[in-house]
Amino acid sequence: MKLLMRIMWWACLAALLAACQEDAKLPEKSVFTEDELIIDPGPLKIGFAMDTLKEERWLKDRELFEQAIESRGLEVEIAAANGDDALQIAQAEKMIQEGIDLLVIVPHNAEATAAIVHKAHGAGIKVIAYDRLVKNAEIDLYVSFDNEKVGELQAEEMLELVPEGNYVYIGGAPTDNNAHLLKKGVFDVLQPAIERGDIHIIYDEWTEDWAPEQAFIHMSQALEINGNQIDAVIAANDATAGGTVVALAQKGLAGSVPVAGQDAELAAIQRIVDGTQSMTVYKPIQQLSERVAALAVELAQGNAIEPTASINNGKSEVPSVLLEPIAVDIGNLESTVFADNFHSAQEIDGME
Ligand code: BGC
């Protein structure tokens, strides 16, 4: 409805301007009444349909995206679905019915969310996939960090620390496309060392919904099966790294087995300072939220955008923008997460 009003508004203005140009003055009697000319549809409204607020990063995403949209004079409606596919679809449908101008979505389930894209497109609303790709639907834009690169950074740093030995891979949620990209990045880097026989993947599991409790169970199993003979762990994010470190701690191994994570969560930075996690991958959320907000405005106004990549999602080549992730360990905490105020050193025990 709002979209219709917006189109009518622009049509009125365009017709009026055309009339002015023809006669070089206002027509004696405008074809529009005064009331019709002042139908102002109000600011553009962006819907932000999030999967979850469980991990610390999503709270930052919510806050920074809201600020980025509002600072551009637009409105934003935000909902989070608690990892529930049906709820996420219902929340997005409600936004569509209420007349958002564009939908930004962080899909819980890469495949299930295609239904929302079809609904939005049916209502003439464009869709941006935020951080996670929607599969098998013609989404208009995908903006994320380079997730394969995240995995590569993890594996490169771990190979330097542990060039030979037994590796455990604790993956992310199989329903999240990012989990697959991360894993590809990790294994692309590890493959030559695996082929040389330098490293052995002795355990490799997905983690349903990225749950730390499940990561804990996986890591406990890995330790059990291999008689604690584990030299390195790559976990798909800091939440799963957290579960892993608890399992290692139960065997007195926290701090002696290097662990990699991703997200630069506060708890992970604390573990890096404590020596129980070796590295994380920092993704400046500010850059992501700003970029999506700027592109959302362009798309909602029907302007062309300049993607930096194109990614096949099973249905189409999706115009994409991929930002650079940054490997973080004890050596560059200051110049990365602290310098950017992502966290402050005061929040960390053992730092001044
Ligand atoms: C994100 C990670 C996050 C994970 C769990 C992934 O799609 O890229 O940053 O830790 O989801 O929410």
- Taking CA atoms only, the protein residue closest to ligand 1 atom 3 is 237
pLDDT of residue 28: 40
pLDDT of residue 23: 43
C-beta pairs of 114-117 under 8 Å, 24+ apart in sequence:
114/315, 115/89, 116/49, 116/88, 116/89, 116/92
146 lines ligand 1 (CB under 6 A): no
Distance CA 317, CA 312 (A): 4
Sequence-distant (6+) residues with CB within 8 A of 327 are: 153, 154, 156, 157, 279, 281, 282
Percentage of the chain with pLDDT > 70? 88
108 lines ligand 1 (CB under 6 A): no
φ/ψ of residue 226, rounded to 5: -105, 20
Calculate the CA dihedral of residues 292, 297, 303, 308 and round it to 10 degrees: -10
Q: Is residue 17's pLDDT more than 70?
A: no
320 lines ligand 1 (CB under 6 A): no
pLDDT of residue 351: 80
Q: Is residue 5's pLDDT more than 70?
A: no
Atom of ligand 1 nearest to the CA of 263: 9
pLDDT of residue 35: 52
237 lines ligand 1 (CB under 6 A): yes
51 lines ligand 1 (CB under 6 A): no
Provide the pLDDT confidence category of residue 40 given band limits of 50, 70 and 90.
low
280 lines ligand 1 (CB under 6 A): no
- Return mean pLDDT, the chain: 91
pLDDT of residue 37: 53
pLDDT of residue 38: 54
φ/ψ of residue 255, rounded to 5: 100, -25
Atom of ligand 1 nearest to the CA of 58: 12
b or e along 116-125 (b: 16 or more beta carbons within 10 Å of the residue's beta carbon)? bbebbbeeeb
Provide the pLDDT confidence category of residue 6 given band limits of 50, 70 and 90.
low
Provide the pLDDT confidence category of residue 42 given band limits of 50, 70 and 90.
confident
Whole-angstrom CA distances from 289 to 285, 286, 340, 345 are 6, 5, 15, 24
φ/ψ of residue 321, rounded to 5: -130, 120
Atom of ligand 1 nearest to the CA of 106: 7
Find, among 46, 41, 43, the residue nearest to 101 by Cα. 46
| Model confidence pLDDT, tens digit, residues 100-138 | 999 999 999 999 999 999 999 999 999 999 999 999 999
- Taking CA atoms only, the protein residue closest to ligand 1 atom 12 is 55
Q: Is residue 271's pLDDT more than 60?
A: yes
| Model confidence pLDDT, tens digit, residues 63-75 | 999 999 999 999 9
148 lines ligand 1 (CB under 6 A): no
Q: Is residue 269's pLDDT more than 60?
A: yes
pLDDT of residue 217: 98
176 lines ligand 1 (CB under 6 A): yes
pLDDT of residue 350: 86
Q: Is residue 190's pLDDT more than 50?
A: yes
pLDDT of residue 297: 95
263 lines ligand 1 (CB under 6 A): yes
CA of 11 to the centre of ligand 1 (A): 43
How many C-beta neighbours within 10 Å does residue 349 have?
Answer: 7
Whole-angstrom CA distances from 195 to 1, 164, 198, 205 are 60, 12, 8, 20
Provide the pLDDT confidence category of residue 39 given band limits of 50, 70 and 90.
low
pLDDT of residue 25: 42
H or E stretch covering 282: strand 279-282
pLDDT of residue 76: 97
CB 87 within 8 A of CB 79: no
| Model confidence pLDDT, tens digit, residues 215-228 | 999 999 999 999 99
- Taking CA atoms only, the protein residue closest to ligand 1 atom 10 is 237
Count Cα atoms within 13 angstroms, Cβ side, for 190: 27
195 vs 30: which has the higher pLDDT: 195
265 lines ligand 1 (CB under 6 A): no
pLDDT of residue 291: 98
pLDDT of residue 16: 42
- Confirm whether pTM is higher than 0.85: yes
Residue 198: both structure tokens together? 């330098």
- Taking CA atoms only, the protein residue closest to ligand 1 atom 5 is 210
CB 128 within 8 A of CB 308: no
Mean pLDDT of 306-330: 97
Mean pLDDT of 167-182: 98
Q: Is residue 156's pLDDT more than 50?
A: yes
